[in-house]
A and B are shown apart, each in its own frame.
Chain A
Amino acid sequence: AQSVSQHNHHVILSEAASLELGCNYSYGGTVNLFWYVQYPGQHLQLLLKYFSGDPLVKGIKGFEAEFIKSKFSFNLRKPSVQWSDTAEYFCAVSGGSYIPTFGRGTSLIVHP
């Protein structure tokens, strides 16, 4: 069975600070990894994904994530956050079916 652990449940930053949200997964086969974001009052949407190839993937709005297979990790990063990045962030893992198992989420608040 696949599982996802997100270490930080609540993160509070000031604008321009750097962000790193931790995500570790457990899965026995080839993984597909995702970060989803839910902005206040909006639908859950895909931020970025990793299937294969370059372990450093870039997503929308300046976000990136790095797949480190030896650590079973897929951490999300952004060098300089903005107030508009305030949202709930979910890490997810799937196998070939593309049905994701989600972590419990990290609530990010960015103060202007």
Chain B
Amino acid sequence: DTGVSQDPRHKITKRGQNVTFRCDPISEHNRLYWYRQTLGQGPEFLTYFQNEAQLEKSRLLSDRFSAERPKGSFSTLEIQRTEQGDSAMYLCASSLEGIRTYEQYFGPGTRLTVT
């Protein structure tokens, strides 16, 4: 399967712990996006990369959130000192820069529960 993959699919952590999620985009896609989705809401954009450059990060929710894409392939999203309000589904998507930039392919998400 060459779709977007995310790992882990579920994560339960205690408040105050750090967590890291991984996203592997479709191999030829150079854009990678992170979203958060809470219950009853649509996905909320967090940040995106074009290759290894993080082009938009002002919408990360706080300075506890950070993302990397060191070699322009997979990406990680880290949340430090987790809070119960961080419980949500974290979605990754990728697209190919060009005439089909708009066509984002989403992964299955990582469901985070903070206890």
| Chain A interface residues (CB < 8 Å from chain B) | 4, 9, 32, 34, 43-46, 49, 51, 90, 92, 94, 97-105
Complex contact B108–A43 (CB within 8 A): yes
Complex contact A94–B102 (CB within 8 A): yes
Complex contact B91–A100 (CB within 8 A): no
| Contact pick for A104, options B40, B48, B56, B105, CB 8 Å | B40
Complex contact B103–A105 (CB within 8 A): no
| Chain B interface residues (CB < 8 Å from chain A) | 3-4, 33, 40-45, 48, 56, 91, 93, 95, 101-109
Complex contact A99–B48 (CB within 8 A): yes
CB-CB under 8 A for A99 and B43, given A32-B102, A34-B102: no
Residues of A within 8 A of B4 (CB): 43
The complex places the Cα of A46 from the Cα of B102 at a distance, in Å, of 10
Complex contact A90–B3 (CB within 8 A): no
Complex contact B101–A43 (CB within 8 A): no
Residues of A within 8 A of B107 (CB): 43
